[in-house]
Amino acid sequence: MSAAAVATWAFVLLATCAAWNVLSCWRSPLRRYPGPFLARWTNLWRFYHTLRGDIHLVNLRAHQRYGPVVRTGPNQLDLDLPALVKTIYSSDGRFRKTDFYPPASTVVDGRVAYNLFSLRDPAEHARQKRAVAKHYSLAGTLALQPHVDDTIRLLRRSLDERYMGADGFGEGFDLGEWVKMYAWDVIGQVTFSKHFGYLSSGRDFDGHLWMSDRGADYLSSVSQIPWLDRIVDKNPIFPVGGATALLGPTMKRLDDRYAGRDDRDPVQAAAQPDFLDRFLEVQRAQPDVVDRQRVLSYLSINMLAGADTTAITIKAVLYYALRTGGVWGRLVAACEEAGLAAGEIASFAQARAVPYLEAVVREAMRLHPGVAMVLPRCVPHGGLGLPDGNVVPPGTSVGMNPFVLGRNRTVWGPDADDFRPERWLRADGETEEAFAVRLAGMNAADLTFGAGSRVCLGKHLGLLQAYKVVATLAVSYDLEMMEPEKEWWVRSAFFMRQGELKVRMRRRD
C-alpha cells in the first residue's frame, strides 16, 4: 500500500472517530448539564487533573462556576447535593460501584484479588465483609488499644531523644513526617504485632512510604480510565505500578506467620491478638469463604488505606489547630480539664470525652478529608431524580467529592471556608433541639468515611489513633508552629496528602 493510500485511510479513520464523538456528544442525555468543555468528550480531563493532583480544587471551582450538577466526563456527573448523599451512598446497594474501583485490586498467584474496597458486587461484598466486620467494630478496635499505646510511647521517646531542648524549645523539625511514620507503625503493630521500624529509624528506611505515595498517584489517575489498569498493572507478563507492587512485605509476613517464623511470644500473642491472628481464625472457621487470597485481600486494605488516611487526618488537626488563633491553647486546656496529664497516654474513652477535641477533629476532617475525589456510583434502573426535577438516566456515573461537600454553604454557612471548631458545639442560646437538627444536617453531609453499606471499615481504628495521639501530644508538649502564616502544599491523588508541618516543641511537666 502506498504512502498516499495509508494517509487517506488514516484520515478517513480519524474523521470517522471525530464524527462519531460529535454525534455521541450531541445525542447524549447528559448534554443538558454544564461542565468543562473537554470533559464532555473524554475522561482524559479527569485523568489530567488527578495526575496533576489538583482535582479537589478543580472540582470545587467547577461547582462554583456551573452549580450543583457538573458534567465531568462523557458519562459522569459530579454532584454537590447533600440531600442526595443517603440516596446515592445507600445501605441497600442499589447504586453500585462503577469500574473506577477495580484498579485498587491486587494480583495474587496470577489471579486478581478483589478487596472490600474494589469489590463491586454488593452480595459478594456483604459476604466478605460479614466474615471480619466484628474485628473492625468499636469493640474489636478497642481490643487493639494496647498496640496503639506501644506505638505512642515509641513516638514520644523518638521525639524526646531527637528534638527536646536542654531548657526550652528544641530545634525545628517536620512533625508531619513523624505522624506519618507513627500511623504506619501502628498499622504494622495492630496487623502483625510488629512495628515496621519507621519510628525507630526516624526515616523511610526501606522506601515503602515513598512507594505508597506513588501507588496512590497511580490509582488516582488510572481509575479515571480503568482499562489502562488491565494493561499496566494487571497484565501477566510485566506488571508495573499499582496496588500489587505494595504487597511484598505483607505477603512475606503472612508466609512467616503460616510457617511459624515470626518469633512472636506465644503468651503475648494469646493476650493481644492482632488482625492477622483474627483473619487466620476466620479462615479456619470459614474456609469456604476465606482462603489465603482472601486473607491477603483483608491485609491489603490495612496496608493500602489504613495508614495514609489516618496520618492525613492527624496532620490536618495539628495544622489547623496550631495556626488558628486560640484553638491549640483551648484544646490543651480542655484536655487538662478532662483529667489528662503530661506523661500519660490518653485512652480512647478519655479523649472522646473531650467535646472540644471532637469538634477540632471533625472540623479538620471537614476541611481536609483523607480522600478528596469523587466517589462514583452507577445510577440504577429508574434513574436518579434531582431537586430541579430532572432525572439522570440509568447507567450514568454519579458521585460527590467530600472536599466539595465540606464547603457547601447551604450546610456549613457563609464561613464554610473557615476553620471554626465551635460549629460542632451547641452555641450560646441554641436549644438542644435546634442543635440536634443542625448537627444531623452536618452529619448527613459528611462523606469523610463514605456512607451506607460501603462506609470505611477502618473508621473506628483511624479515629482511635487520631484522638489518642492528638490528646497525648496536647498534654505532653508545648508546640510552636514555624511560619504559621505559610500555607502548606496539598496534592489530591486518591489521598489528600500534605506538605511539611514544621514545629518546635518542649516537654510539658
Distance CA 452, CA 454 (A): 5
Neighbours of 298 (CB within 10 A): 25
Query: CA 349 to CA 142: how far, in whole Å?
Result: 9
94: nearest Cα among 376, 380, 375: 380
The two counts, helices (H) then strands (E), for the chain are 23, 14
Contact between 277 and 269 under an 8 Å Cβ cutoff? The reply is: yes
Tell me the C-alpha distance between 185 and 188, whole Å: 5
SS3 at position 492: strand
Compute CA 367 distance to the chain's CA centroid, rounded to the nearest angstrom. Answer: 14
Asked whether the beta carbons of 349 and 338 are under 8 A apart, the reply is no
Return the exposure string of 203-222: e unless at least 16 CB atoms fall within 10 Å of the residue's CB, then b: ebeeebbebbbebbbbbbbb
35-37-38 Cα angle (round to 5):
115
3-state helix, strand, coil in the chain (%, to 5): 55, 10, 35
Label residue 20 exposed, middle or buried (CB < 10 Å: 0-12, 13-18, 19+). Answer: exposed
Contact present, 314 and 462 (Cβ < 8 Å): no
Q: Can you say which residues are annotated as belonging to the binding site?
A: 456
Residue 374: what residue type? V
Binding positions for heme are 456
The C-alpha cell at 252 is 512475606
**Measured on CA atoms in the order 234, 181, 297, 95, is the torsion positive or negative?**
negative
Supply the DSSP string of 119-174, one letter for each residue.
---HHHHHHHHHHHHHHHSHHHHHTTHHHHHHHHHHHHHHHHHHH--SSS----EE
Q: How far apart are CA 62 and CA 100, in angstroms?
A: 21
Give the single-character DSSP code of 54. Answer: B
> Rounded CA gap, 181 and 71, in Å?
39
